[in-house]
């Protein structure tokens, strides 16, 4: 038995990405509706992210040993149960547990599905294997289109009851389960190390560098996802739900566009400075959000542009991490689970640290000590006049850390192996 075709695997990624991110945005709306503050929401999402970051390595281990289709099926089934619990919940506290279970299901699903992607084309007799960077792009496009659909659905359903959204998520998970049933007898098939899976002296340092950078990029992305609705100034005529939906939809569209670009262009492979330059979009987007934080009624279009810039930068960081992770280790599912562990840690830290930064700004607890009481501090203190500016400042610091880590390690990687031809 051969693995499912790439197109079907993309559809599975889309379904689970849609259901997972719709659940997160629905939970965010429920908690905002219950008047939870930014720190409470950040803690709830942190607990949910831990349920992804901690067990995702187990998901990779199971996928390589128990079966990739079986592990993906298990993840989709756990997600469906979580949606049913959320649909029947009568308290926002129950939604916390359901969202945690959703992330647990994703932690099992995605490493298994990545392993199926790695095996799919190579296992088909008589067909030339697809280039690894193209497979990575197809994998990324599946879940990213799902995320985009989830964000768009959250905007459409913003004024509907949460139960409607949770029914949509349940249906998506159940469809994924129904598709995977046919391949439950499929055994793990380790990919062959040849062609663009061959060894290169720079791979170890590039792999860990990209994973570390991804952690910072995920802190930026999850802080935006979790807190942008809370950060939007409550000005007359401004609908925070609509503003957040636009920003997050553009963020998703940005990394979808980047996945398309990097899947069709191989000039970034083993040329880390090119990927680094693209990631400057993370800093540009954060600075843009910071500037919009000063407006009493921020432009939705401008915020959408900032979201797209952040998405472009995140897409470049994510692609580098998963590409080098899938290229280096022998087990594709285990490799992706390590990549996802760094992603999960970043997702865990983003909401709680971003929420803390926003609360410090909002309460005036953030103090900037200046020796001698210089008036230089006055413009800086004045700048901290909104939650959005506080969130954006936090995001900008993390984006700079993402780029700085790479700037330090790229020269070392080049000394170890240089570049390879396209």
- pLDDT in 10s for each residue of the chain, 422 residues: 778 888 999 999 999 999 998 998 889 888 888 888 877 887 888 888 889 888 998 998 898 889 899 999 999 999 999 999 999 887 889 999 999 999 999 999 999 998 888 777 655 556 667 788 888 899 999 988 888 888 778 777 767 778 888 999 999 999 999 999 999 988 775 555 555 666 677 888 998 899 999 999 999 998 998 888 778 776 646 677 778 888 888 998 899 899 999 999 989 998 999 999 999 999 999 999 988 877 666 678 889 999 999 999 999 999 999 998 887 656 667 778 889 889 988 988 888 888 888 877 766 655 444 444 444 433 443 444 467 888 899 999 999 999 999 999 999 988 876 554 43
The verdict on residue 126 lying in a domain is yes
The CATH number given to whatever domain includes residue 158 is: 1.20.1250.20
- Distance between CA atoms of residues 122 and 131, nearest Å: 10
Dihedral over alpha carbons 68, 329, 342, 333 (to 10 degrees):
0
Are the C-beta atoms of 49 and 99 separated by less than 8 Å? Answer: no
- Distance between CA atoms of residues 143 and 166, nearest Å: 18
The verdict on residue 196 lying in a domain is yes
Contacts of 66 by beta carbon, 8 Å cutoff, 6+ apart? 188
Q: How many residues appear in the chain? A: 422
The verdict on residue 33 lying in a domain is yes
The verdict on residue 422 lying in a domain is no
* Structure tokens that stand for 5 in this block: 């075709």
Provide the total of helices (H) and of strands (E) in the chain, helices listed first.
Answer: 15, 0
The verdict on residue 37 lying in a domain is yes
Nearest to 356 by CA among 141, 139, 43: 43
The verdict on residue 135 lying in a domain is yes
Question: pTM score, two decimals?
Answer: 0.79
The tally of domains found in the chain comes to 1
Full residue range of the structural domain in which residue 148 is found: 6-369+377-417
Mapping DSSP onto H, E and C, the string for 89-151 reads: CCCHHHHHHHHHHHHHHHHHHHHHHHHHHHHHHHHCCCCCCCCHHHHHHHHHHHHHHHHHHHH
CA 414 to chain centre: 28
* Structure tokens that stand for 162 in this block: 């949460």
Residue 157: φ, ψ to 5°:
-95, 10
The verdict on residue 1 lying in a domain is no
Q: CA-CA distances (angstroms) from residue 8 to 14, 103, 180, 263, 400?
A: 10, 22, 10, 18, 38
Can you give the C-alpha Rg of the chain in angstroms? 21
Residue 5: φ, ψ to 5°:
-65, 155
């Amino acid at each position: 038995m051969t693995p499912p075709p790439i197109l079907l695997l993309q559809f599975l990624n889309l379904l689970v990405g849609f259901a997972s991110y719709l659940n997160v945005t629905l939970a965010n709306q429920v908690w905002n509706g219950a008047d939870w503050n930014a720190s409470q929401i950040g803690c709830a999402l942190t607990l949910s992210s831990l349920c992804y970051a901690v067990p995702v390595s187990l998901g990779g281990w199971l996928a390589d040993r128990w079966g990739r289709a079986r592990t993906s099926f298990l993840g989709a089934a756990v997600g469906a149960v979580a949606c049913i619990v959320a649909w029947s919940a009568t308290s926002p506290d129950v939604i916390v547990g359901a969202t945690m279970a959703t992330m647990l299901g994703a932690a099992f699903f995605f490493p298994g599905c990545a392993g199926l992607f790695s095996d799919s084309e190579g296992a088909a007799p008589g067909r030339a294997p697809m280039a690894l960077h193209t497979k990575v792009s197809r994998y990324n496009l599946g879940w990213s289109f799902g995320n985009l659909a989830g964000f768009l659905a959250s905007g459409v359903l913003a004024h509907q009851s949460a139960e409607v959204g949770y029914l949509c998520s349940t249906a998506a998970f159940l469809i994924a389960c129904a598709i995977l049933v046919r391949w439950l007898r499929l055994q793990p098939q380790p990919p062959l190390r040849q062609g663009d899976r061959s060894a290169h002296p720079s791979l170890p340092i590039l792999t860990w560098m990209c994973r570390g950078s991804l952690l910072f990029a995920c802190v930026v992305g999850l802080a935006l996802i979790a807190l942008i609705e809370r950060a939007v100034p409550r000005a007359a005529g401004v609908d925070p739900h609509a503003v957040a939906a636009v920003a997050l939809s553009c963020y998703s569209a940005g990394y979808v566009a980047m996945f398309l670009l990097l899947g069709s262009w191989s000039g970034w492979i083993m040329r880390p400075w090119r990927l680094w330059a693209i990631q400057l979009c993370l800093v540009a987007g954060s600075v843009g959000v910071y500037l919009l934080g000063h407006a009493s009624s921020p432009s939705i279009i401008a915020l959408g542009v900032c979201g797209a810039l952040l998405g472009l930068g995140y897409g470049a960081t994510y692609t580098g991490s998963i590409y080098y992770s899938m290229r280096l280790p022998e087990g594709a599912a285990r490799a992706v689970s390590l990549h996802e562990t760094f992603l999960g840690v970043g997702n865990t830290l983003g909401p709680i640290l971003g929420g803390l930064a926003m609360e410090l700004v909002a309460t005036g607890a953030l103090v900037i000590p200046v020796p001698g009481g210089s008036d230089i501090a006055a413009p800086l203190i004045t700048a901290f006049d909104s939650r959005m500016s506080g969130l954006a400042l936090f995001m900008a610091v993390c984006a700079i850390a993402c780029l700085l880590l790479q700037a330090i390690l790229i020269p070392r990687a080049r000394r170890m192996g240089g570049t390879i031809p396209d």
